[in-house]
Structures are given as C-alpha cells and as structure tokens.
A and B are shown apart, each in its own frame.
Chain A
Amino acid sequence: MYKRYTLFNSTHRQFPLKLLFLLVCFLTGFSTIYSQQPFWREHPIHEEFSKAKINLIHEHPNGMIWFGTNQGLFYFDGLKYVNVPFRDSIPSVQNITALGTDPQGRIWAGMEDGNIYIQNGFDPLKIWKPEEGLPKSMITGIKFTSDSTLWFSTYGEGLYCYQQGRMYNFGTEDGLRGMDLYTMEKGQDNTVWVGTDLGINICSFKNETKFIKTLDSSKGLKDEIVRDIKLDHQGNAWIASFEMGVFFYEKEKDTIYQKIPNTGFGEITKLELFKNLELWIGTVNKGIWRTRIDTAVVYPINNNEDLIKANISDLKKDAEGNIWVLNGSNITYSANRQFEWVESSIENVQAVVEDQNGVVWIGTPEGLFFMEKDDKGRSFFKKYWKRKNFNITSLFEDSNGKIWIGTYGDGLYCLTADRRKSHHLTPKNSGLKDGNIFSIAEQNGSIWLASLRGMIEIRNPEFIGFEQLKQTWYSTENGLPTDYIYKVFIDSRGVVWLGTDGKGLVRILNGQIKTYQEINGFNLKTIYSITEDLHGNIWFCSSDNGIFKFDGNDFEQLALPEGIRNLTITSLITDIKGNILVVHSAGIDILDPKLKHLTYYDQEIGVEDIEPNLNAVCRGNNFDIWIGTQQGLINYKAEQEDLEIHPRTLIKSVSVFLQEKDVKEGHSFEPDENYISFDVIGLWYTDPNTVEYRYMLEGYDLNWKKSRDNFINYPHLPPGNYTFKIQSTENGAFDKEPMTTFEFSIQKPFWQQLWFLIVCILIIGGLFYWYQHTRDRRIHRESMMVKEKIESQFETLKSQINPHFLFNSFNTLMTVIDENPEQAMQYVQALSDFYRSIVQYREKDIIPMEEEIEIVKNYGYLLEQRYGENLYLKIDIPKATGYLVPLSLQMLVENAVKHNVISKSKPLSIFIYLDEDKHIVVSNPLQLKLTPEPSTQYGLESIGKRYEYLTSKKMLLEKSETHFIVRLPIIDGDEN
C-alpha cells in the first residue's frame, strides 16, 4: 500500500522543498497579483536586412505570412524570411504601407509614395499601371470586396476604388470626412470602413454611384480620430480612437458607445479581435494592452522588454491562433494565445475549480487560494484560510454552489455557497469512510468521492453539518476491483465512471458495478483521467496504453501511431468546443475527437516539461480551462473561430535542373527536362521545427517517403504521367493530414512518339518499295538484255556465217592464194581472228573500245581484200577509251557494206571517228543499192536496245539525203 501511494503522488518526494517554499510564502505574504501573459517567440530578419523596419503583417489565404517593411516585401515560412525582389528597377521608396490579397491570390503592396505593386505566386514585384495613374500619397489600406472591386485608402487623397477597369476617387467633395485615412476594413455587403480625423465613413460603389455613410460624434463617437477598426461577425465594430480608448458600434441600435476607456494606454495604433474572447490593443510607445470582452478590464502585456514600451505598428492573429506583433524593428514577435501562464508565485497546483461567480479556486499542499479582483480590476490570488495548511488534492463545486475540498489525509471540507461557513468531515468526526479524497463529482444530488478506500457516495450533501452523514460505500467488499480510485467522472446521462489503480475502468449504473479491465487484448491497468465528448462518448487514459474512446459498445485506442506522444497522461478535459485537452509532462495536446487529430503544444508556447498534477484541471463557466501544474497555473482559452490544426503544405516552386521554372499544374515537360525538384513548405507557425513531410511521386515511387527536407529532387525521370503528392505533419501522424498535389507529365522523346513511328514506317516502306521497284526494273532489264544478247549473237552468227559472206571471203581468198600466198595466209589469219572475236565477245555486255576497234580493223581488212580500193574504211580514233557494245561497230560497218553500192565508179568510204559529245560515229555516204538486200533491220535495233539497257545515253541515227550517220555513245568504264 505504501508503494502504491508513492507511485501515485511522486511529487511528494520534494516535500522539504515545498516546506521551504511555504516558509517563503509565509514571509512574503500570501496574496499574489495574477495576470496572464503569453509566451513570446522572436523571429529576427536575417543579417542582410538587419536594418529593416517591419511595418505590417499580412496573412495570405494559403497560410503564408507576409511582411511589409521599409525595405520591401518579405514572406516568412516559420523558419526563414525571404525577400521578394522588385522585377524592374529598385524603386527609391521601398517602404510598404499596405498589403492585400486579391481573389486570384496575388499580393498587392501599397507603398509610402502611393505606388502599388503586384506580386504573383513567388515572383518578383511588378508595378501596377492603371490608366488613371497611381496616387502620390501613402497607401494605408488595400482591400478586395466580393463585387470584384479593389479599394485602396490613402493618407492625403482619400479613398479609391477600382471597378471594371476604371478608377474612382472618394474625396471630401463626395462626403468623405477627410482625405487622410488611417485605416480601412472590409465590412458587410461590399462596403469598406475607413477611419478619418472626423469619424468613420462606410463606403460602397455600385452602378457608378458612391454611397457614403458616416459614423461620428452624432452617433456617439466622442473621439472622432479613428486609428483602427475591427468588425465582428455580426457587423458590430470596435473602434480605436486617438485618445479616448476603444468605442463600440452596435449595428442593431446604430449607435456608438465607449467600451474601453483610456486607462493609461494612450494613443492606439491597431486593434485585434478574438471572437467573443479578447481585444488586443497596440499603442504608441505603451506596448500592447488586452481586455477580455466579457469583463472589459484592460491590462498591459508586460513580460517582454521589447514590447512593453514599444510603438506597436501592427498586430494580427493567424489561422493557427498565434498572435503576431510588430514593434517597428527587424524582429517579429508571435505567441500562441490559447495557452498562458497565470503569473503568480503559487506553485504546485493540485486542484482547481472555477465557481459559478467566475472566481478561480486553487488547492495546493499549502492550502486553498482564491482569485480576487482589486479596485483597478486586476486580479490576484488570496489564501482562503490564513493559518490552515493542508494538502488539497481535489476541488469541486456542486450545483448548489457549495465548494467541496478533498484533502490528502485530512478528510473533506465543504464551503457554503455564500463562502462564509465551512464544514470539515473526517472519518473521526462524521464516520467518513476515508480521509484521502482524490476526485469529487456530483450525480442527482449525491456527491461522489474517490478515495483510497473505495467510492463514497454522500447522499445528503445539502444537509452536511446539520445531520448525520448518509453515505453509500462501494469497495472491494461489494464488487469494486480495487479500493484505490483516482478519478470519478459522471457523464451527461448520469452514469458514474471510475478510474482505478491497476484495475481498469469501472462503471456504476443504478448500483450495478461493471469493470472493464481486459479490452481489445489490452490490460487497461491504471486509469488516471476520464472525460466525455460532446457526442456522449467516454474518453479515458490508461497508464501505458494511451487514450481510449468508449461509445458504449466498442473501445477504440489512440496510441503512439495515432499521434499520442506521451503515455503518462495526467488529465483529460473537454473544452467548450468539444476538443479534448490531453495534459502530460511533455506538454498539452488538443485532441479533435472527430478527426482524432492531436495538435501538440509545448516549448513554442512555453508549456514544455511541465509537471502537471493528476486531474488538476477544470472547465470554467466560459471558454476557460484551468490546468494546475507543479510550476503553477495554466489558463487555456478555446478560440471561438475554427483554427487550423494541420500544417498547410505549399509547393513554392518547381525546378528543372535546379532552375526555378514558372509552371502550372498539369505542365508537360520536354523529354530532356527530366530532373524535377519541388520546393515545398509545410506552414506550422506554432512550432515550425516539428514539421515533417511525407511524399510520393505517383507513377514513379511505390511507397511514401518521409523527410524533414523541404527540397525534394527527382533526377532522371522517365517519360510518363506523374502526380506529386505531399503531406506535412506537425505530430508525426500523416494519415489525417491534407494532401497537396501537383500533376505533371514528361513527354516522350520524339523517337518514341506516334507521329515519328508513322513517319519512320512510311519512309522505310517507301524505301522498300523503291528498292523493289528498281530491282524489278533491273531484273526485267537484265532479262531483256540477255534476250537481246542472245538474239544479237544469233543474228551476228547468222550474218557472219552467212554463206554469201563466206562465199565472198573464200572467193577473195582464192584470188589471193595464187597471186600472193603470203597475203592469203594473212587473210585467213584475219578471217579466223574475226571469227574468234565473235565467239569471244558475244557473251559480253560491253567491251573496251580499243578491242572493238581491233575487230573492226580486222573486219575492215577482210573487206578491203574483197573490195580493193573501192572500199575505204577510215578509223580516226586518236585515243580509244571507254567501252562499247560488242560488235556494234562491226555490225554498223557491215550494214554500210550491205546496203550500199560499192563499185569502182562508186567507191564507199566509211568513217569512224569521235565527236565532241563522247560518241563514236560511223558515217558513210548514202549510195543505196537499187535492189535492197533483204534485211531483218535487226542489227541497228539490237544495238539501240542494248544501249538503252546499259546506259541512259541513246544511240543516235542521222539519215540525210547524202549520208547515213550512226552515233554510238561511249560508255564510261565505271558506268556498268
């Protein structure tokens, strides 16, 4: 039992320290000033711009935070600032005094000199050039209303609006109360509100008509110098006046009244409104002040030296619930406003309760304290019983307003609703079953006490102190699995739930006890805390297994994979919006019970390494939750507007070979642009260092890849269609995080594209056809050639062994034999040579001209012998090169001899010579026989045809009155 006791409250080991602290408290007095202060983080702009002065904050709808400075435009992703350059020349005035985002997501920057620049995506700033020109006075605001109208307010030229490509001016002549506009806010119904030195003008522009409504002293605005305006969702306005504090315009009554008098904050520069919760006030040289909307008590932020006496140039909240503050330096300040430490010297808060009057009571080992307000509206903690020091472990206010105080070993105290009387119940004086009370709850007029000796139900709490205590006792004796109970929780249906030490969850319904110890294969062991969401589900934390949800039938576990980061959870409590706060030593997490998403809060909001006390939490009457820790009290205020709980993932740029490229989603990259990189950012300003990425290139990657690097490379991508998917998480659980995608494709190289294939096939087909065609033609020609050759051989042979030729030859021979046997020998030699040549060359397509000439000479010799001087064959070929069709010259000479008269009176001269055009010419005078020799006309035709097959040049025939000339083309040696 002793062992269990130390396990439960290990903090008691520091008891001597606490004693010392007690002594200190005693000496310094017991009351302590209370005010809540946010935990500030500072983000200086990098060295290069260390002299920059940041003027204003602008949150882009995509979540990125932009800053206007005297050195141009910057954006900040939580880790670093990036300066946006000017596209053309750097202007002399770079002081940005207004920022706005148009419906297309472009940033518009108004400058001190009246110029306006536009910035698209993450491109450089480009000047805007409307036909009407730009103002020459400082731009103080840029807004876009949903009627496609751009508004910009100036300090000196009144208000401008730009609608349908035309610019219009609202000046004093139109009813504006002044030309110097301090601020502009977007109102309902396409209106803008501008603050002047003489009140507010509500302006709109429709059908080329200016509508101006004025709010000034006649409506109750006693200080008409309006420095800032914040409109709420109902159309009411918070108005920052020059020196009379903050006024409130109530739309319903159309009147203005002073809401927050100037209690020392002086001149206001900016306001920021947290819906139904708080108004923050930025001042000139007096830092930031804040007020709760329900109390209107205003007090300064005093926990950051840089902000205490600062001139606050801008003040804005972001979508995650952070507030951003500028003090005109190169540093921006941010804080998460949801969690704040209550500044007081009280430590080791073991129990806390906010009563129906809004008074916060805290119990520590030193006793009971309550929050009291002084006459200035400030709050401080006061010890309730001056001398009593007792160890308070639980506090509870019942429906009658009584406060029940459970102690460790000293029984139960009860404060009456008027807080004047107290009653003390102990086992000794009232028979209370146990004096160690860890948790108190109420059900139908019964008070339930969780003790070390089981559950005690006090059935007559209204009569405490007057009558005998009526109690029902639940213990191991009548069905409880253990007597050590840490938490009693009564749900909205009146069911009693108990968290036990080591024995799981217990339900008591109509006196019936049911224990849940083994569920889904887990041993629930110790249950420290229990809560209920807005849908009636029970949520509890088990010592080693994380958080469980019980819907009455099934249990669902959330453990490390689901984002639970610490298994020693001390408290669970549901806030007004239904989110569950998970309190543990590593920080505080907000669990969205529907999405089961956990948002972590720790060092960045100043709640890391807290030592929370078991179930030292309570819900206030309003938005507050109070969390007691060893280090003191934490106040949580549930933001009224929905906050971003996921990092917003942006693809800042796409690069090809590490060069940024301006591409839209769906871009088709060239085949050689296959090295694609993505510069991404998961915006989580609450704690930027926790952001991790998970990405996948669909079409390439098979699995998700995790990384902390926000530059993702894909070298050597093959052609194809891809979708780049990226998620970022701040809590390590990716499953519920939204996904950002970028679709693109890489084209196939041209040789893989269809058109190229078709062209290739056509070309190959064409070539093949051409080859086939020419081959066919060649084959045809060759076969014709062979045919011709055979015919020609036949013809030649026929003509040469023509009996007439032989008879003539033999006659000639006979005459010669007698006269000149020598010559006869020569003749026979020539004749046989001639026949040999015919036999030798008839197979060939071409023969060298030289050899052909030899044949003709031989033939000529034979003819000369026969015709004597009557035939004259003159061969005038100085140099015989090239080729001829075999026996072509011989055949021509033969023809000449055959068809012409050869006689003494009419001798025949045959000339063979070359002309200028590479022809060999056979020419003879025309002296036709009267009775023509029978002729097949084959000889000439055959020569002509053979030339046709062999060369493009043609045999030429010239037949005149006097001459017959045949020109045979000389075939070049390489031609065939």
Chain B
Amino acid sequence: MFKQGIFFLLLFFQISLLAQQNNMLEVKSGSAAFKSDAPLEMIEASSDELKGLLDPSNGNFAFSINTKSFVGFNNPTQQEHFYENYLETTDYPTASYSGKIIEDFDLSKDGIFEIRAKGKLKIHGISKERIIKCKLKVEKGKVEFESLFTVRLEDHQITIPKIVNQKIAEEIIVVIKGEMAPKKS
C-alpha cells in the first residue's frame, strides 16, 4: 500500500512536472475500454476517467486511469472479480503509461497520422516497456487520439484461477480514445 502510494505520488509528480511546462496538451475527455474475448464469457468494460498530458515539443507524455472507474460489466459478480481478484484495485488504484513518442510529429498542422510511443505500461503494479501505436487526428488545435493495443495478463502477473481461466482471454484488447487540447495555465 505504501509503495503504491509512493508510485501514485511519483506519477502525480511526473504529470505535474510536465504540466508546469508551457504549450502542454491535456486530455479533455478520454476513455479506456477493454475486451476479453474468451471462449466462455466475454468481459467488456470501460472508463471515462482517462487523464493525460503530452508535451508536443519533445514528445514526452504521461497517461493514467483510475482502475476503479471501470463500468459496464455484464454483472456485478464479474465486476467484483475484476476489481478484487484480478486488478486488485485497492492495492493498485491506477494504471499508467508514460514515455516518449518515437517519431517526430507536428501537431500544428491539421491532418490524420500515426505515431508510435515507447514507454512504460504499468498495470497491476507491474511495469513493462511497450511500444504502442496511436492514431492522431489534428483539427484546429484539438487532437483526437485513438489507440488499440493488447495486454497479456501474464506480463502483469494477473493470475487467473484455473476454473475461470476459460472465461478470460490471456490477451486483453484495450482501446484508448480521447481528445486533447492545450492546457490552460
């Protein structure tokens, strides 16, 4: 718990550090949805509490989400299992992804393009280096983003009891969507 607190502080610190700089982009509205397409049961849930900051000058970014904010489960038992058994949200209340965008990009021009980010994806307290592809749509200073990636449960030490492992796929598909706009300072 203490460790998680420190991590949360650090992430907050990181976000606020980024936030102190000028011309930052901030997530105005963002969602994260995931889907586990297992043979027996499909689990789907989403959250609108995606937060994040991007520094367009150097490509540094940090995104985070409250893991307790996921809604839309098939039934309350599913949700309970998700919170308590798998993500252990009390111990690990946030999931985050922070790092740097690999390629050069220019958000001053309108258009649609694809970028790749290299960073640390932290879920269930386990941090993994990941490259994640993201589609950006720039229109009048607003940046819409959408990204699809997979998370392997094993990578983040999310263990599934044998009995239910047919209900959960080993690979979860995550879709992140949202809109960013310049941060008002």
Contact = CB atoms under 8 A, between A and B. Distances in A.
Q: Do A and B come from one complex?
A: yes
Given A131-B133, A133-B133, A171 B118 contact: yes
B131 A168 contact: yes
29 contacts: A131-B133, A131-B149, A131-B150, A132-B116, A132-B130, A132-B131, A132-B132, A132-B133, A133-B114, A133-B116, A133-B131, A133-B133, A135-B102, A136-B103, A137-B103, A157-B102, A157-B103, A166-B130, A167-B131, A168-B129, A168-B131, A169-B102, A169-B118, A169-B131, A171-B102, A171-B118, A173-B100, A208-B128, A208-B129
The interface residues of chain B, by DSSP majority, are classed as: strand
Q: How large is the interface on B (under 10, 10 to 19, 20 to 34, 35 or more residues)?
A: 10 to 19
Interface of B: 100, 102-103, 114, 116, 118, 128-133, 149-150
Nearest to A133: B133
Contacts, number: 29
Interface in A106-134: 131-133
Pick the most buried of A132, A157, A168: most chain B CB atoms within 10 A of its CB: A132
A133 B130 CA distance: 12
A166 B118 CA distance: 12
Interface in A136-176: 136-137, 157, 166-169, 171, 173
The interface residues of chain A, by DSSP majority, are classed as: loop
Contacts of A208: 128-129
Closest 8 CB pairs of A and B: A133-B133, A132-B131, A133-B116, A136-B103, A169-B118, A167-B131, A157-B102, A169-B131
B171 to A, nearest CB: 9
Contacts of B103: 136-137, 157
Contacts of A166: 130
A167 B132 CA distance: 9
Contacts of B118: 169, 171
A116 to B, nearest CB: 14
A92 to B, nearest CB: 15
Nearest to A171: B118
A169 B119 CA distance: 10
Given A168-B131, A208-B128, A208-B129, 9 more contacts: A132-B130, A132-B132, A133-B116, A133-B133, A135-B102, A166-B130, A169-B131, A171-B118, A173-B100
Contacts of B150: 131
Contacts of A132: 116, 130-133
Pick the most buried of B102, B116, B133: most chain A CB atoms within 10 A of its CB: B102
Contacts of B129: 168, 208
A855 to B, nearest CB: 84
A173 B58 CA distance: 13
A173 B101 CA distance: 12
A133 B102 CA distance: 11
A171 B128 CA distance: 16
A138 to B, nearest CB: 13
Contacts of B102: 135, 157, 169, 171
Nearest to A167: B131
A442 to B, nearest CB: 70
Pick the most buried of B128, B129, B131, B149: most chain A CB atoms within 10 A of its CB: B131
Nearest to A156: B103
A166 B151 CA distance: 11
Contacts of B128: 208
Nearest to B134: A133
A310 B102 CA distance: 36
A132 B103 CA distance: 13
A173 B129 CA distance: 13
A208 B102 CA distance: 19
A137 B102 CA distance: 10
Nearest to A209: B129
Contacts of B114: 133
B115 to A, nearest CB: 9
Nearest to B133: A133
Contacts of A131: 133, 149-150
Nearest to B132: A132
Nearest to A160: B131
A131 B116 CA distance: 11
B146 to A, nearest CB: 13
A157 B117 CA distance: 12
Nearest to B118: A169
Nearest to A168: B129
A171 to B, nearest CB: 7
A173 B120 CA distance: 13
Contacts of A171: 102, 118
Nearest to B105: A136
Nearest to A132: B131
Contacts of A135: 102
B132 to A, nearest CB: 7
A136 B103 CA distance: 7
A180 to B, nearest CB: 13
Nearest to A154: B102
A166 B116 CA distance: 14
Nearest to A169: B118
Nearest to B113: A136
